[in-house]
Amino acid sequence: MPGRPITDPPRGVLRTPPEGAFSLRRWEPSPALAPYVSWLWGVRWDLRGREPHEQTTLPHPSAHLVYEEDGRAWLYGPPRGPFRRTLRDAGFALGLRFRPGGVRPFLRGPVSAIADQRLTASALPGLDGERLERDCAACAELDDVVAVFEAALAPLAPAEPDPAVELADRAVELLAADRDMTRVSQLAERLAMSPRSVQRLFSEHVGAGPAWVIRRFRLQDAAARATEGGDVDWAGLAAALGYYDQAHLVREFTATIGVPPARYAAGAGATTDRQE
């Protein structure tokens, strides 16, 4: 199953490692997992002889199953804050990104219960996390780890697609595609649901509320614009992203990322709020 090379940084990656020190691949899921999984991804880095790099992302509202270079497999619930990890020396990780709501049928419980948590892979009912770790450790290439993930998870997939997963996925994609949709009531109208029903759908299947997802996509856009370089019309960007005014954008950006957007654009965000 060949990986698809990615040349541009994925959405939500705030700072990337030095050129030539980091590579990323993605694999399409098998038909059995496609209703629940967006893709599988693999990263390698080689920072030997270089300073450690803090990788910071504003993640998509999705859960991930990840095998890391320490030989452990983890289930990451949807993170509602920035995800930071310090990369040093050489290493790798391979992960599976669930669709929004896609982890719900495997979890057999509300996704909000695992938000912001890192759990052992065995937290997914029926998944033998220790066996998954052993099988991954025996692999020579990331492509082999992909096959191990598929073999472990595919038998746990429901026999029929879950309509609620499809609905949650559609709801999140609507928010990702339409920046004019800034209120939960607008999303509820597009889905022909009540706002309260939308809130329940997101709590049960996405793990974060729809208002949070709206804010996350807006901040991803603001961070992407900040890293493009050149002068940024922050007031105009705030208006385009649906903020009440520039001050609201600055406050939300600073609270989430740790520095004001203009300072982040100047490069200060690369070293601020470092976590080992």
Show the low-confidence residues of the chain (pLDDT under 50). Answer: 1-2, 5-9, 268-276
Q: What is the pLDDT of residue 6?
A: 44
Residues 6+ apart with CB under 8 A from 265: 226, 227, 229, 232
> Could you give the CA distance from residue 177 to residue 187 in angstroms, rounded to a whole number?
12
Rounded CA-CA distance 33/149 in Å is 11
- What confidence score (pLDDT) does residue 193 get? 97
Q: Tell me, what's the pLDDT at 242? A: 81
SS3 assignment, position 121: helix
pLDDT at residue 154, as a whole number: 95
Residue 201: predicted pLDDT: 97
Determine the Cα–Cα distance for residues 121 and 98; give it in Å rounded to an integer: 14
Residue 15: the pLDDT is: 60
- CB-based contact 105:36 (threshold 8 Å): yes
Encode pLDDT of 203-230 as tens digits.
999 999 999 999 888 888 888 887 776 6
pLDDT at position 73 is: 97
What is the location of CATH 1.10.10.60 in the chain? 163-270
pLDDT at 116: 92
CATH topology for 163-270 is Arc Repressor Mutant, subunit A (1.10.10)
CA quadruple 204, 13, 40, 153: dihedral, nearest 10:
-30
Q: pTM of the prediction?
A: 0.83
